[in-house]
Structure 1
Amino acid sequence: MRGAAKLREMIKTGRTIVSPGVYEGLGARVCLQNGFDTLYMTGAGTAIGQLGMPDLGLTTADDMVRNAAMLAGLNRDVPVIADADTGFGGPVMVERTVERYILAGVAALHLEDQVMQKRCGHLGGKELVDEATFLARIRAAVAARERTGGDIVIIARTDALQSLGFDAAIHRLKLAVEAGADMCFLEGMTSKEQMAESVKQLAPTPCMLNMVNGGVTPLVDAKEAQAMGYALVIWPIFALMAAFNAYEKAAQELKSTGFLADMKDSPGGPVRGGVREVFELCGMSKCVEFDMQMGGATYAKGGP
């Protein structure tokens, strides 16, 4: 069982799924090595990690599909849930975007009701499309799924809470479910009361919770999210600041000294290090073994 089918079975168990946000191959490999049974491709992380740009609607469909396909291809047995922003256009473009995600092996995607020039859900000043436009996006996604014979999980996201209020946001999500969405995602909640109430209001449709470090939504652990009834919890930038700080520290040292001290002699004691270990994480030995099994000689003369 792979991808969407596996994710659907996981949701049926009633266990809250915790999915780490990834946006490049190394981070995804680390999460897979640590036993996560799903991955979440973050749109913000894709903008930052792949383009070096802020999450202000600057990524294209090509940027997102390319990254999603790479992540989904690392391990086809681990479902990838992916941000699909607004779908990148009208219904025809949304259908094409969803079809491309399906062909890439993505298990689930979420579509939102912001205008095309969208922004991170935890920033202010978000602008929305009207209900009809939002629902057209959801229907187009459903049509793409039906036409391709896929079973990708369609998650309806609304950012209406900020400008229209809680009741209007819940109403939009209920309409999206009627249009064929499988799961609901209310973005930008500002209290635990809203978090718990939204699950009750949208039952029996499963709900997704977004945990953003430094965002507007209170952070809760998996146990509390389970008690609230959430099917899926994503942590889109859970390691982003750690990566930023590591880059910053190493860059400052290299710039100021022209050298990087041996990590094994660091004040904290021996640490993991060496490029070979990273190569192994990314499958070096498996590549060599496969080459030999197939009768190749690519690495016969002292390769890895």
Structure 2
Amino acid sequence: MNPQYQVLLSRNCSSTVSLLPHNSSASINPTTASSNLPFGSSSALHFNQQRPLSLPHKFKHTIFTAKRAALQTTAAYSGGDRELAPESPAKELRRILELPGVVQAPACFDALSAKLVERAGFQCCFTSGFSISAARLALPDTGFISYGEMVDQGQQITQAVSIPVIGDGDNGYGNAMNVKRTVKGYIKAGFAGILLEDQVSPKACGHTQGRKVVSREEAVMRIRAAVDARKESGSDIVIVARTDSRQAVSLDEALWRSRAFADAGADVLFIDALASKEEMKAFCGISPLVPKMANMLEGGKTPILNPLELEDVGYKIVAYPLSLIGVSIQAMQQALAGLKGGRIPPPGSMPSFEEVKEILGFNSYYEEEKRYSTSSSQLSPERLTSSVYSLQRTARDGGEQKDQNPQDPIVEVITPDVYNNYDADGSRGPFSGIWSRTLRVKITGRDGFEKLDVRIPAGFLEGITNIVPGSIHVLSKLIEIALGGVNIKQLLNEATDEMGGKLLLDFNDTIGDRIQVFLE
């Protein structure tokens, strides 16, 4: 029976972890380096593959999270001083592969999808040549996409996330010399690993017809060339060796090539399109010290197993190559069908605008931007306009803003800092008769709930346009969009002598909301 282990973190919970048998009486001195190694050390958090830890899945994730935080904030000791020494993506990927359990790695196709993978809590991800070819070129994965396009897309992906990314290197885009260039290019692009296959050019997508492989000798030579390129670059990039010979030739041929790839220096082995669970077990039985990769392609030839089943078979890492691009295509098709019929995507089918901004980093950007603001900074029209007025939401609890019930009316009070009712020559302007009166806009949703109730000084429209010619603040922009260019200033001018309570406009917009504009 495998011993149960306990995890002991240093007091700051940020730099060290030690593993002891649960019933061990050994003690750890947090000030002793031999007992408390920094994560930068190659001996820290090492798991013996012959004696896997028996830990609950949730606890394994907790260990990984603590370890990951330490990797990002600590470093090796140098001359008694601690210096930051961030770990390379390849080294982090290797550490992840040493952790117990199956590593799930969804396949992304651009920077945004990669960021979503990271935000979902996955430890690493793949890039999918199929998905990148689809998203970037709208073409099938049949050799159309080039090395340069894949490197460019990959660099955008790796720069968008902090988790390790394994890049799809296809067949290396040529002979052994091309493979070396591909590996070195992927290293420079920031990839933690590269997947290389033994197909001929032009290649065919996995699980599809027409796949052909190069000879055994050339297939092995590609992996040797990749290993040489890694050494020449001084890198530790993880090499994932894939063979498509199961479908092109036979299972026996695929097993032979996998063994040869391991002998040539591959770090992870992958046979594509295995047709049964028995074939998957046979694959995991060869070269037992080399991790195996599974490919869970919906609708493909390989049986779809859950992570625990894959771990039981003997797999270490699992890719999901089409999940993200597949659901993206369907979601866009459904949204477009609705738009064509005059319907916008319903609530719940898409994130809110605030959530989108958070995902893309708007809030972080604004916070960081404050560090570099100066008194002489030039303001954009939108910033200048916002300096004239402030939007103030009343709070019900000591001034703190609370989440608003979707059914509660949205009331915004716009208070101008200054507004002028005189022209440059001292004469009264056309709005002088109503500048102190109130303009009110009400928007009622088609569900009957009030969406907006805004009051501003009527002459404020002119004050804004005088300060920033041609600009449109929140209210006038709303009205212009809804009315398709109605001149609200002209309506106000005509109502100069009218008494309060005049309804200037009352209509339904294109989505069924009722918009009313009053002069009070």
Q: TM-score, normalised by structure 2?
A: 0.55
Amino acid in structure 1 at the alignment position of 2:186 = Y
Aligned residue in 1 for 2:132: 46
The CA distance in 2 between the partners of 1:239 and 1:272, in whole Å, is 15
5 Å-filtered alignment, 1:219-234, equals: 219-234=304-319
Q: CA deviation at 1:272?
A: 4.5
Change (3 A) 1:162 1:262: closer
Amino acid in structure 1 at the alignment position of 2:346 = M
Verify the 8 A CA contact 1:28 1:71 in the aligned structure 2.
yes
What do the CA deviations read for 1:253-273 (whole angstroms, capped 9, x no partner)?
Answer: 223x3x333623xxxxx4553
Aligned residue in 2 for 1:58: 144
Q: CA deviation at 1:287?
A: 1.9
Match status 1:286 vs 2:286: no
What do the CA deviations read for 1:104-145 (whole angstroms, capped 9, x no partner)?
Answer: 110111111100201111012201111121122111111111
Task: Identify which of 258, 267, 287 aligns with 1:173.
Answer: 258
The more displaced of 163-172 and 290-299 is 290-299
Count of residue pairs brought into register by the alignment: 296
Q: CA deviation at 1:175?
A: 1.1
Change (3 A) 1:262 1:12: closer
Bigger relative contact order, structure 1 or 2 (CA pairs below 8 A, ≥6 apart): 1
Amino acid in structure 2 at the alignment position of 1:35 = G
Aligned residue in 1 for 2:202: 117
- For the aligned residue pairs, the C-alpha RMSD in angstroms reads 2.0
Task: Identify which of 268, 281, 305 aligns with 1:196.
Answer: 281
**Unaligned stretches of 5+ residues in structure 1:** 265-269
Aligned residue in 2 for 1:131: 216
The more displaced of 242-251 and 203-212 is 242-251
What do the CA deviations read for 1:230-279 (whole angstroms, capped 9, x no partner)?
Answer: 11000011122221111111212223x3x333623xxxxx4553444323
Match status 1:23 vs 2:109: yes
Aligned residue in 2 for 1:277: 355
Change (3 A) 1:302 1:262: farther
The CA distance in 1 between the partners of 2:379 and 2:258, in whole Å, is 54
Change (3 A) 1:24 1:168: same
The CA distance in 1 between the partners of 2:299 and 2:311, in whole Å, is 22
Match status 1:71 vs 2:152: no
Aligned residue in 2 for 1:141: 226
**Unaligned stretches of 5+ residues in structure 2:** 1-86, 387-520
Aligned residue in 2 for 1:267: none
5 Å-filtered alignment, 1:289-300, equals: 289-295=367-373
Change (3 A) 1:262 1:69: closer
The CA distance in 2 between the partners of 1:167 and 1:298, in whole Å, is 69
Aligned residue in 2 for 1:108: 193
What do the CA deviations read for 1:197-234 (whole angstroms, capped 9, x no partner)?
Answer: 10012312111001101111000000001111111000
Other structure's SS at 2:285 match: helix
Amino acid in structure 2 at the alignment position of 1:143 = D
Q: CA deviation at 1:85?
A: 0.2
Other structure's SS at 2:221 match: helix
Q: Which structure has greater strand proportion?
A: 2
Task: Identify which of 247, 258, 261 aligns with 2:344.
Answer: 261
Verify the 8 A CA contact 1:288 1:299 in the aligned structure 2.
no
Q: CA deviation at 1:27?
A: 1.8
Change (3 A) 1:292 1:152: same
The CA distance in 2 between the partners of 1:274 and 1:201, in whole Å, is 49
Match status 1:13 vs 2:99: yes
The CA distance in 1 between the partners of 2:367 and 2:378, in whole Å, is 11
Other structure's SS at 2:140 match: coil
What do the CA deviations read for 1:155-199 (whole angstroms, capped 9, x no partner)?
Answer: 110000113211111111111111111110001100011111100
The CA distance in 2 between the partners of 1:132 and 1:145, in whole Å, is 20
Q: Which structure has greater helix proportion?
A: 1
